[in-house]
A and B are shown apart, each in its own frame.
Chain A
Amino acid sequence: GENVEQHPSTLSVQEGDSAVIKCTYSDSASNYFPWYKQELGKRPQLIIDIRSNVGEKKDQRIAVTLNKTAKHFSLHITETQPEDSAVYFCAATLYALNFGKGTSLLVTP
C-alpha cells in the first residue's frame, strides 16, 4: 500500500516568516495529493490539493508543489500568521487517502 512520510514533525516560525512542510510517497500510481489543517479538537479541513497532472498550485498565501518523478510534494505557507498554528497533514491517494503523521506548526507573534 501507499506509504507517506512527512517532515518535519514540528515547526516553529515567527509571524511573517514562511513555512515549508515536505512529504514523500511510495506508490507512483497515486494521483491526488491534498493537504489538511487540523486545529486542536477539530476535524481535518482541506486547505489545498493538487493532482498529478499539475506541478504547482497556489491559493493566496498557500502553495503546493509536486514532483512526480521524485515522488515528493510540499506545502508552502508565506507571511505566516498566528492563526496558521495547527497540525498539517499531507496525504496521497489513488482511491483512499493515506496520511502522513502530521506537522505541528507554531507561529509565534
Chain B
Amino acid sequence: EAGVVQSPRYKIIEKKQPVAFWCNPISGHNTLYWYRQNLGQGPELLIRYENEEAVDDSQLPKDRFSAERLKGVDSTLKIQPAELGDSAVYLCASSSGTLEAFFGQGTRLTVV
C-alpha cells in the first residue's frame, strides 16, 4: 500500500510569488491534515479535512493561504503571495478516523 504522497519535495521561490503543494492521502483515509513544521519545532496544524469538508481551519492564515480537497481525496495547499517567513516544511498527513495519522515526506519551501 502506498503511503501519503506529496509533491514537490522541494520548492524555492521568490517572495511575493505564488506556490502550491499537492497531497495524495492513503487510499480510504477520509481525514486529511496539512501541517507546517519550522526548523527545530513540532508540526503545527494548518487545516483538517473530513472528506471534502474543512472542519478545522482556525490556524490557517486566510489572507494568503488557501486549501481545497474537492473530491475528498487529493488536496492542494496554496500560498499567495509567499513571504520570507513562510519558509518551512509543509507536511500532509491522513488517517482513517482512528486518529493514527500517517505523514507524507513533506515539501520543503524556501522563500528568498
Contacts and interface: CB of A to CB of B under 8 A. Distances in A.
Interface of A: 1, 4, 6, 32, 34, 36, 42-46, 49, 89, 91, 93, 95-102
Given A97-B43, A100-B42, A102-B41, A34 B100 contact: yes
Nearest to B43: A99
Contacts of A1: 58
Contacts of A43: 91, 103-106
B29 interface: no
B99 interface: yes
B44 A99 contact: yes
Nearest to B33: A96
Contacts of B88: none
B43 A89 contact: yes
A8 B48 CA distance: 29
B101 interface: yes
Nearest to A89: B42
